[in-house]
């Protein structure tokens, strides 16, 4: 039997308002993560590791940083028609932006028509996880469904934070209903304390997807959203199936991180996802060589820990330190430092995320904070210790007490 032709679409056009100020100057999928990565790297790595060779990244808001990262990092040989291409809103249907994720695909149907695939994989660009999509594609084809939704089990008390899938008891791989953030969710038959939440990843028969987004584009009452409009339409017609992530076996995964998936749509979840990286037995393991997370390979020297002029030695506990960083007589604990960070004598960085080329000078303190690129924390300055002072200086502070300092800001003592 002739093998199916697969086409990948990464939806990377969202504004990411809840991650402000990290998204003030960049698209959400371009936000740095885990030291040297960008959020979009996780989606693209999963697709490439799954064997997809034709992938487009649909971009829109503040896309320069994202477009540059995709073009510099994700260069795939043009031989045999393999590529990863960043595609902005093309205004093929009028002078307008994408009005939703389904509209993004509608305005980009020329990409699908040009390649004429049998199956289209559609994924979000801002989740942290590993997944072998080839296994989901096989399950989709075997099921006979026109659309398949990837789902992950979540505690029932979190149901009101997700799109929840209600299964057909007579056919447990078919979706009976798609419930958007239900208040009174019913647990699964085999796990009453859990629900199946949509991961925002889908597999479609290509013709069915194209037909669905065209019909949706004609509806004045639609929000033109994949999860809010397209999937419910497939459910209503009885053509939607579900793929439980528990069926997915990623090479090199461990019992601790096999079914890890994190939506990093808020500063709190972004911070918590970083904490998942840094323990001795990480909840999400960046060191899986059988299913690597690819990113731009910086031409940078190794990280270095040195004694300062007073003879004090830099120390690091449960942290990630990226290439090019220099820690001079400072203490780093439960933190992630991006490339070319510089931390001076006597400084403390605790429970924090530091982006590229941040300089933290001598005797400064940074705690429960996120510092964007090129931030300078002057000698003796404090970030994250005094909520009211941080707010008065114009920094963002979450309800849980995480301080965020925007790109290029200089923090005075």
Average pLDDT of 284-304? 91
> Which residue, 255, 275, 295, sits at the end of a domain?
275
pLDDT for 80 beyond 90 = no
Question: CB-side exposure of 382: number of CA atoms within 13 Å?
Answer: 8
Residue 384 lies in a domain: yes
State the CB neighbour count (10 A cutoff) for residue 374. 16
Task: Give the DSSP H/E element, type plus range, for residue 377.
Answer: strand 376-377
What average pLDDT does the segment 277-288 reach? 89
Residues 270 and 326 grouped into a single domain: no
Q: Is the pLDDT reported for residue 236 higher than 60? A: yes
295, part of any domain: no
Domain shared by 335 and 391, yes or no: yes
Q: What's the pLDDT score for residue 1? A: 38
Residue 286 lies in a domain: no
DSSP-assigned beta bridge partners for residue 285: none
Report pLDDT digits (tens) over 161-195.
888 999 877 777 889 988 888 888 888 888 889 99
Residue with tokens 């080839």: 134
Residues 148 and 205 reside in one and the same domain = yes
Confidence of residue 281 (pLDDT cuts 50, 70, 90): confident
In 3-state terms, what secondary structure has residue 181?
coil
Band of residue 98 on the pLDDT scale cut at 50, 70, 90: confident
User: What's 102's domain CATH number?
Assistant: 3.90.550.10
Q: In this model, does residue 333 exceed pLDDT 60?
A: yes
**What is the number of structural domains in the chain?**
2
pLDDT at 2: 58
| pLDDT higher than threshold 80 for residue 96 | no
Output the pLDDT for position 369. 98
Q: Do 168 and 215 touch, CB atoms closer than 8 A?
A: no
Pairing of strands 119-124, 147-155: unpaired
Identify whether the C-beta of residue 137 lies closer than 8 Å to the C-beta of residue 47.
no
DSSP calls for 271-313: HHHHHTTSSSS-SS-TT-TTS---------PPPEEEB-TTSPB
**Alpha-carbon span 12 to 171, nearest angstrom:** 33
How far is Cα of residue 125 from the mean position of the Cα atoms in its chain?
Answer: 5
* In-domain check, residue 287: no
CA-to-CA dists, residue 103 to 22, 48, 201, angstroms: 26, 25, 16
Q: Are residues 234 and 87 in the same domain?
A: yes
Residues 197 and 107 both lie in one domain:
yes
Same domain, 29 and 155: yes
pLDDT exceeds cutoff 80 at 312: no
Q: In the predicted model, is pLDDT for residue 74 greater than 90?
A: no
Whether residue 370 sits in one domain with residue 222: no
How is the chain split among helix, strand and coil, in percent rounded to 5?
Answer: 25, 30, 45
Residues 6+ apart with CB under 8 A from 370: 22, 267, 270, 271, 352, 353, 355, 402, 403, 404, 405
Q: Are 53 and 82 in contact (CB under 8 A)?
A: yes
> From the DSSP assignment, how many helices (H) and strands (E) are in the chain?
9, 30
At 230 the three-state DSSP class reads helix
pLDDT surpasses 50 at 23? yes
Q: How confident is the model at residue 93 (pLDDT cuts 50, 70, 90)?
A: low
Residue 68, helix vs strand vs coil: helix
Crossing angle for the helix pair 40-49 and 64-73, nearest 10 degrees? 30
Give the pLDDT score at 218. Answer: 84
Q: How many CB atoms lie within 10 A of CB 383?
A: 27
Q: Which of 23-32, 140-149, 160-169, 390-399 has the lowest mean pLDDT?
A: 160-169
Residue 330 shares a structural domain with residue 265:
no
User: Same domain for 53 and 181?
Assistant: yes
Q: Which residues contact 18 (CB under 8 A, 6 or more apart)?
A: 265, 266, 267
- Which residues on adjacent β-strands are paired with residue 58? 11, 87
Q: Within 10 Å of residue 18's Cβ, how many Cβ atoms?
A: 15
Question: For the chain, what is the mean pLDDT?
Answer: 91
In a domain, 358, yes or no: yes
Q: Name the strands in the sheet holding 348-350, side by side, starting at the edge strand that comes first in the sequence.
A: 315-317, 331-333, 348-350, 365-367, 382-383
On whether residue 46 sits in a domain, the answer given is yes
Give a yes or no: residue 299 inside a domain.
no
Domain around 339:
304-411
End position of a domain, from candidates 254, 275, 296: 275
What are the residues facing 331 on neighbouring strands?
315, 348
Give the Cα separation of 321 and 317 in Å (integer).
10
How much is the average pLDDT of 19-37? 93
Residue 280 domain flag = no
CATH number of the domain encompassing residue 367: 2.160.10.10
Contact between 282 and 293 under an 8 Å Cβ cutoff? The reply is no
- Tell me, what's the pLDDT at 79? 66
Which residues contribute to the annotated binding site? 163, 180-181, 198
Residues 320 and 402 in one domain: yes
Other C-beta atoms closer than 10 Å to the C-beta of 143 total 17
Q: How far apart (Å, rounded) are the C-alpha atoms in residues 253 and 245?
A: 13
Is the model's pLDDT at 206 over the cut of 50?
yes
Residue 410's closest CA among 367, 339, 358? Answer: 358
pLDDT of 378-410, one tens digit each?
Answer: 999 999 999 999 999 999 999 999 999 999 999
Question: Per DSSP, which regions of 64-143 are E strands?
Answer: 83-88, 119-124, 127-129
pLDDT of residue 147: 97
Instruction: Give binding residues for alpha-D-glucose 1-phosphate as ranges.
Output: 163, 180-181, 198
């Amino acid at each position: 039997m002739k093998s199916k032709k697969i086409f990948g679409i990464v939806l990377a056009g969202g504004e990411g308002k809840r991650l402000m100020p990290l998204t003030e100057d960049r698209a959400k999928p371009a936000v740095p993560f885990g030291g040297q990565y960008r959020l979009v790297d996780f989606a693209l790595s999963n697709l490439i590791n799954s064997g997809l060779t034709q992938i487009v990244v649909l971009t829109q808001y503040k896309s320069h940083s994202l477009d540059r990262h995709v073009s510099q990092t994700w260069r795939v040989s043009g031989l045999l028609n393999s590529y990863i291409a960043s595609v902005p809103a093309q205004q093929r249907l009028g002078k307008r932006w994408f009005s939703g994720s389904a509209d993004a695909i509608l305005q980009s149907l020329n990409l699908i028509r040009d390649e004429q695939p049998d199956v289209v994989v559609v994924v979000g660009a801002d989740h942290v996880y590993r997944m072998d999509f080839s296994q989901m594609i096989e399950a989709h084809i075997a099921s006979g469904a026109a659309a398949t939704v990837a789902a992950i089990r979540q505690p029932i008390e979190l149901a009101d934070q997700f799109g929840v899938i209600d299964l057909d008891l007579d056919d447990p791989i078919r979706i009976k209903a798609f419930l958007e953030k239900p208040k009174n969710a019913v647990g699964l038959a085999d796990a009453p304390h859990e629900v199946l939440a949509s991961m925002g990843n889908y597999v479609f028969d290509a013709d069915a997807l194209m037909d669905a987004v065209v019909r949706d584009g004609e509806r004045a009452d639609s929000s033109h959203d994949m999860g809010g409009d397209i999937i419910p339409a497939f459910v209503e017609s009885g053509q939607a199936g579900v793929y439980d992530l528990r069926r997915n076996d990623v090479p090199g995964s461990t019992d601790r991180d096999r079914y890890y998936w994190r939506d990093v749509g808020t500063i709190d979840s972004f911070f918590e996802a970083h904490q998942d990286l840094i323990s001795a037995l990480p909840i999400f393991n960046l060191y899986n060589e059988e299913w690597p997370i690819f990113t731009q390979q910086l031409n940078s020297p190794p990280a270095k820990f040195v004694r300062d002029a007073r003879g004090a030695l830099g120390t690091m506990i449960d942290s990630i330190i990226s290439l090019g960083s220099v820690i001079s007589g400072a203490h780093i604990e439960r933190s992630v430092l991006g490339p070319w960070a510089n931390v001076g004598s006597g400084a403390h960085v605790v429970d924090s995320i530091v982006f590229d080329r941040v300089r933290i000078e001598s005797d400064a303190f940074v705690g429960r904070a996120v510092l964007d690129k090129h931030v300078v924390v002057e000698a003796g300055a404090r970030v994250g210790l005094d909520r009211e002072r941080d707010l008065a200086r114009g920094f963002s502070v979450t309800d849980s007490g995480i301080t965020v300092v925007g790109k290029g800001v200089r923090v005075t003592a």
